[in-house]
Each structure stands twice: as C-alpha cells, then as structure tokens.
Structure 1
Amino acid sequence: DADVGRALAAAGAGFVTGLPRGVETQLGRGWPDGVDLSGGQWQKLALARALTRVTPLLAVMDEPAASLDAASEHELFQRLSALLVVMDGGRVREAGTHEELMPRGGLYAELFGLQARVCQ
C-alpha cells in the first residue's frame, strides 16, 4: 500500500522492506519465525504506525529519539519539526519551530546545545 510505504519512508523505517516478508513479517522473538528489531528500529516503526492514522494525531513524545543514533535522530526531528512545544514543570515555556526557538536562547536552545555537546 502506498500510504504504508510513505509512512515507513517518513519515519526512516525503510528497513522493513528488507525483512524476510517485508511488511508482512511477524515481529518479536515470541513468534516461531519472528524477527526481533533493535530499540531504534522499534521506535521508527512506532512512528510509522502513528503516521498512517487517517485522523490527525497529536503526538506527545518524551525522548522520542532515546534509542536512535545521531543521524536517525536528526532525520526524525527534521520530519517532525512542524511545531515544538517545550514544557517545564507542567507549563508551556516555549513553542515554535527549531528555527524560531534556537535564536531565542531559551530552554529549548539550552537543552539542544547540551544534547549537541554530548553527541560530539
């Protein structure tokens, strides 16, 4: 299905096409012929599933890239960067795109900078 293919591509989950039965592959070690995925692959697949929804989805993600490598994390945030909402102590501190929030030098820029330094 074209929608599934687009969702897999958008989530960076193109690896699915290389599985033994493609999108029909049974996933998980609990199945006789099941294929286990890495933590990052499971995350990408979960994002692809969310992208196939017909109704709009508000995605609240806490550390959505925790199991992804740096390149995959960058790709993910490029795709999902329509609007970022930064919360602190249960309150919205900032909202905007990456390009809008970085020059402000607020909490988002601070946290982004910390993450960038850790990855270097």
Structure 2
Amino acid sequence: MTYTDAVTVRRGGLTFDLVHAKGETDDGTICYVREHKLLLPGDLFLWVTPNCGNPQKAQRYPRGWVHLAALAAPDDAGVHRVRAEVFSARAAGELSLMAKGIFAWAAAESRKRS
C-alpha cells in the first residue's frame, strides 16, 4: 500500500489509522488501532524516547515532535515549556520576518500554557 500523509484501513472489525512520520528515516509509519487505543510507533520510538537519528546523523524533526506532543497533551505544562523553548530558538534563528513572527507567536502561546 502506498499513501502520502495518512490512510485509514478497516480489517476484522478494527480500524487502523496509518500516519506518515519522520524519524531516523523519512518514510516511517505510525499505526493507531482505535478500538484498542493502541499506538504502534515502530522504530520511531525506542525505549522511552523518540528515535531522533543516530550518531552519524543530525537530530531530526524536534519541532514537529514537540508540536505533535502539544496537540496530544494540550494541558501538559511540561510539554508547553519545551515547545516554547524550541519555537523561541527557531524564531531567533529565522531571517524571514514572517517566519520569525509565526515561531515567536507559537512560543508565546505555549509559554502561557506552561
């Protein structure tokens, strides 16, 4: 099966939500089985941490992960503290005024929730 961002498959009375994800490689898939509230992250999650690469590669996608964590746990002050830090650093490094403003706004929103 090939898909771009996400696809939902029903088999045997179960619903499998397949979502494209980036981890050590760009072609990962996360599966969520709704009926069992079961997340199958594959190798995107190792032990207790996201798989953000290996020593031969740079850290990958921390902004996307922290943003997803904030969506998954909107009331978690700890997640929002980290999100504010990550997006503040991104805003500081941007040359585009529009991007700088967007990341600064996202950081401020998370600071309010932390």
**TM-score in same-fold range (> 0.5):** no
Higher strand proportion (structure 1 or 2): 2
Higher helix proportion (structure 1 or 2): 1
TM-score if structure 1 supplies the norm length?
0.31
TM-score if structure 2 supplies the norm length?
0.32
**Relative contact order, higher structure (CA 8 A, sep 6+):** 1
